[in-house]
Amino acid sequence: KHLPLEKQRRISNETLEIFAPLAHRLGISKIKWELEDTALRYLNPQQYYRIVNLMKKKRAEREQYLEDVIEEVKSRMGEVAIKAELSGRPKHIYSIYRKMALQNKQFSEIYDLLAVRIVVNSIKDCYAVLGIIHTCWKPMPGRFKDYIAMPKPNMYQSLHTTVIGPKGDPLEVQIRTKEMHRIAEFGVAAHWAYKEGKEAINDSTTFEQKLTWFREILEFQNDTANAEEFMESLKIDLFSDMVFIFTPKGDVIELPSGSVPIDFAYRIHSEIGNKTIGAKVNGKMVTLDYRLKTGDIIEILTSKHSYGPSQDWLKLAQTSQAKNKIRAFFKKQRRDENVDKGKELVEKEIRNMEFDIKEILTTDNLKKVAEKFNFSNEEDMYAAVGYNGVTALQVANRLTEKWRKKRDQEQSSNITNAITDLKTFPATKKRESGVRVSGIDNLLIRLSRCCNPVPGDEIVGFITKGRGVSVHRSDCTNIDSNDAQSRLIPVEWESSLNDRKEYNVDIEISGYDRRGLLNEVLQAVNETKTNISAVSGKTDRNKMATINMSIAIHNVAHLQKVVERIKQIPDIYSVRRMMN
């Protein structure tokens, strides 16, 4: 029974957009071609039957030509004792239609209607036959593809070459083993079914890796409630032409055509993507909107001081996988999730300090500390910890302040003995920095310029010879040595000064060099009521702009506010805090 025309067209479109590409990605070429040819018959019957008739007209001539070619190759292979099955490869109607439509060609201009498939017993024979073919006829430049050395993601393997045949017409030749032929015709499942016993078990890991994209699609389906969004992402991942990119170690990563370094970074790992600040392709710096090409060797540059992706990355990224992971990053900044995350982190820090959580996290204590941080309630404070507006350690330090003072008083005699030589400095100097050493007065304290700590950073004091105590960030490389470790001393931020005092922080902003970018950055910083003490910028040959800026901020929460505002500017790729 015939379906209504409208329904025929809808099912045919669905077949071309979803099911045929899915069959292709699973390596089932037999089904793929059948689906495409049948769908075309219903979508454009006029063109379909026109191509069928044109192919019929010269079929006898083509078949005779292929027979002559096959006889020639067979006799040459007989000389070197290679056994093979040779056949003419059927040219599918939909592939001819696509070439005519996309390349705007007439049927007479389609040269690869003639194709020979050669199936041999071993990989060694594949390359031997290739040598025979190239000896018989001249190969066309740029038309040789080695999918044996570098298989397609659907496990397709063959040697493809195009030569100038006996009558001067291009002749396509495919060379493969029997095992490769089985996978090409019936897909990866055929390989699964064919393998037996232990060998099949050992192969299962490889299949898991090959079909990672399939699992990612299913996972994304669970994450989205919008069927339309899911189908669009599916089309992008299935229907795109692919490019093959190399990692610096030589591993091959497959990405849709048009992909940029951001797509590559998120394909490697979410954290690599989130911390990306730039990329090198074939040893040269490129912008984050650089379109990757097959054969590119790419290295992703990351920084642990990066503040994560900007909104602009959603426009730059081409793969649904990268877009989903960028959205997931922003989703993590949402309130409900961050409240739970923040509370968990604060409780963990209190446990690390070896205090009783129930004793510390009383309603009065939480309210008091939230007010000190200028939050209206404890939930706002926890949310800020969740998205790194303030650190869990900073909040835990405030919450446990009273209890730590008691503990510090017990330990102060030991610390006093360790730094008696530092007590000669005048008391007036002790709090200009906004930092103090627990239980000790009359110390000269200065903030180190190598890492520029600000309130909210985890800090540690370093006893210097003749210059008092210098304060460093806990992750500063200058306090990593064994010698430095022996001269470290606990310090903490002075809460009464932190909201009034300003601290210099250096940040680096990267983006696409367009007219007005610097002005927009300066305006964005001014909107946050932040003073700029220095600014400089440069542009490279790839139109990548780098802006270095020194700004005066009160604390980490203030810095986060400035960074988030800058990241909202179009064409900004990354913002990171610099270490001198």
Considering only CA atoms, which of 515, 530, 516, 514 is closest in space to residue 564? Answer: 530
Task: Say which residue the tokens 């007065």 belong to.
Answer: 441
Query: In CATH, what class is 212-332?
Result: alpha beta
Q: Are 298 and 246 in contact (CB under 8 A)?
A: yes
pLDDT at residue 547, as a whole number = 94
Q: Are 447 and 471 in contact (CB under 8 A)?
A: yes
User: Beta strand pairing status for 459-463 and 469-473?
Assistant: antiparallel
pLDDT band at 301 (very low <50, low <70, confident <90, very high): very high
What is the helix (H) or strand (E) element at residue 519, kind and residue range? helix 517-527
The CATH classification of domain 5-194, taken from the options 1.10.730.10, 3.40.630.10, 3.30.460.10, 3.30.1300.10 = 3.30.460.10
pLDDT band at 264 (very low <50, low <70, confident <90, very high): very high
The CATH classification of domain 503-577, taken from the options 3.30.70.580, 3.40.50.450, 3.60.15.10, 3.30.70.260 = 3.30.70.260
Q: Specify the pTM.
A: 0.49
Sheet holding 531-539, edge to edge: 531-539, 544-553, 503-512, 572-577
Average confidence (pLDDT) over 351-362: 87
Q: Are 28 and 36 in contact (CB under 8 A)?
A: no
Average confidence (pLDDT) over 559-579: 90
pLDDT band at 188 (very low <50, low <70, confident <90, very high): low
Average confidence score pLDDT of the chain: 80
Q: In this predicted model, what pLDDT tens digit does every residue of 121-156 receive, in sequence order?
A: 999 999 999 999 999 899 988 888 898 888 876 678
| Domain spans in the chain, listed from the N-terminal domain onward | 5-194, 212-332, 335-399, 402-496, 503-577
Residues of the chain with pLDDT > 90, as a percent, come to 21
pLDDT at residue 220, as a whole number = 56
Look at 11-20, 179-188, 462-471, 492-501 and tell me which has the smallest mean pLDDT.
492-501
